[in-house]
Amino acid sequence: MTKNKVYKLHVSKNSKNLNLQVQASTAAHAAAQAEDICRALNATSYTLHYQENEATKLCTLFKKLAFSLYDSKICEPWEHSFSNNVPCLYVFNQRYYVRTLILKYLDIPREGIIARPSCICKSCINPYHFSYRFGKNSKLTGGDLKMLLAFMGQGSGVSQAAKALKVHRSTIYRKLKNEHLSVGSENYRPCSN
């Protein structure tokens, strides 16, 4: 078994710099990790050096991802910063949500995908415990949306529909913004007399 070498990764983004410790078995593995880390942080450039650097919680997170040190049977609760009860960390004077960072590091297309823990531990960051959802959390399910469209098709008001679905009026307006409601049957055309 080969011993891991320690590298210093210097990452830059918008004239801000960050030094991270990277452990890798080979130089190619270190370079691949550097690429993944830069993608996750949306960094503009990086340099990799053969020298030690202080290990941080971000380094530990990336090391566990690089060496697949997560166990599918064990929860990994995040014990650092939270924002809106969601695990986060601050790098480059910017907040990064840890699960989103993990998705980007693993190169899972992030467009519209949200990772939530499927286990009991709501602060879990173990990628094996992620369940993936598309789009933001919605207060209305697919069935509720059909019901909303039925309400609106019958001429009910937004306040009445919101009360029946137990949501705020603004939620109804947001949902209706992207829906096109038609009046009358599909074949209905106004007379042009």
Cβ atoms within 10 Å, residue 72: 8
Say what the pLDDT of residue 21 is.
93
Percent of residues, the chain, with pLDDT higher than 90? 53
| Higher per-residue pLDDT: 58 or 183 | 58
Name residues whose C-beta falls within 8 Å of residue 70's C-beta, 6 or more positions apart in sequence: 64, 76, 126, 127, 128
pLDDT band of residue 183 (cuts 50, 70, 90) is very low
Residues across the chain: 193
Cα-based angle 157, 162, 163 (whole degrees, multiple of 5): 100
Under a CB-based contact definition with an 8 Å cutoff, are residues 40 and 101 in contact? yes
pLDDT band of residue 4 (cuts 50, 70, 90) is confident
Q: How many CA atoms lie within 13 A of 52 on its CB side?
A: 2
| Higher per-residue pLDDT: 32 or 138 | 32
Under a CB-based contact definition with an 8 Å cutoff, are residues 128 and 158 in contact? no
Say what the pLDDT of residue 136 is.
62
Collapse the DSSP code of 153 into the 3-class scheme (helix H, G, I; strand E, B; otherwise coil) and give the result: helix
Mean pLDDT (the chain, rounded): 85
